[in-house]
Amino acid sequence: MDDDVVPIPDHLTIRVTHTDDPVSAVAGLEAWESRERYPDLLMMPPVFGSLERTPEGAWRILCFHAGTPQGARDDLGHVFRCWAHGEPGGRWAAPWDITDAERAAYTAAYERLEWEKLDELAVAGRQYRVFRAEQVLRGGPEGVEPPRPTDPDPAPVGRGHRAPSRVDGFVIDPAAAVSLVDGIVRLDLMTLVPSGRSITEEVREDARLASARHPNVFVLPAHCAVAERRDGRWGPMTGACETPQAARDTLAAYLREFAPMTDPGLGEEELAAYAAAADRLDALRANTVEAAGRRFQLVRVEPVVRLGPDGPERPRPSDPDPDPPIMAQAARDRAVGLVPDDERD
Render pLDDT for 150-172 as a digit per residue (tens, 0 to 9).
999 999 999 998 888 889 899 99
Phi-psi region of 152 (alpha: psi -120 to 50; beta: other; left: phi over 0): beta
Residue 238 within a domain: no
As a whole number, the mean pLDDT across the chain is: 89
Number of separate domains in the chain: 1
> Is the pLDDT confidence value at 23 over 80?
no
User: Predicted confidence band at 339 (pLDDT cuts at 50, 70, 90)?
Assistant: low
Of 78, 66, 133, 137, the closest CA to residue 111 belongs to 78
Contacting residues for 147 by C-beta, under 8 A, at least 6 apart: 153, 222, 224, 244, 287, 298, 300
Percent of the chain with pLDDT over 90: 61
CA distance 140 to 146: 12
Residue 269 within a domain: no
Structure confidence at residue 190 (pLDDT): 86
Residue range 71-107, pLDDT digits in tens: 999 999 999 999 999 877 676 788 899 999 999 999 9
Residue 199 within a domain: yes
Structure confidence at residue 1 (pLDDT): 47
CA distance 176 to 68: 28
Coil/strand/helix, residue 154 = coil
Structure confidence at residue 251 (pLDDT): 96
Range with the poorest average pLDDT among 28-37, 126-135, 157-166, 195-204: 195-204
Structure confidence at residue 259 (pLDDT): 86
Most confident listed range (72-81, 201-210, 259-268)? 72-81
Structure confidence at residue 343 (pLDDT): 57
Residue 345 within a domain: no
Q: Show contacts of 182-185: CB within 8 Å, 24+ apart.
A: 182/28, 182/31, 182/219, 183/14, 183/16, 184/35, 185/31, 185/35, 185/219
Q: Output 328 or 315, whichever has higher pLDDT.
A: 315
> Is the pLDDT confidence value at 203 over 80?
yes
User: Predicted confidence band at 273 (pLDDT cuts at 50, 70, 90)?
Assistant: very high
Structure confidence at residue 72 (pLDDT): 97
Read off the pLDDT of each residue in 245-273 and give the average, rounded to a whole number. Answer: 90
- Burial class (CB within 10 angstroms; exposed 0-12, middle 13-18, buried 19+) of 58: middle
Instruction: Evaluate whether 200 touches 89 at the Cβ level (below 8 Å).
Output: no
Residue 72 within a domain: yes
Read off the pLDDT of each residue in 286-295 and give the average, rounded to a whole number. Answer: 93
Structure confidence at residue 286 (pLDDT): 93
Residue 287 within a domain: no
Residue 133 within a domain: yes
Residue 310 within a domain: yes
Scanning the chain, the segments in alpha helix (DSSP H) are: 22-37, 69-85, 100-113, 180-189, 201-213, 244-253, 259-262, 268-284, 326-335
> Is the pLDDT confidence value at 342 over 60?
no
Instruction: Evaluate whether 38 touches 145 at the Cβ level (below 8 Å).
Output: yes
CA distance 302 to 320: 21
Q: Which domain holds residue 107?
A: 7-222+303-329
Structure confidence at residue 345 (pLDDT): 47
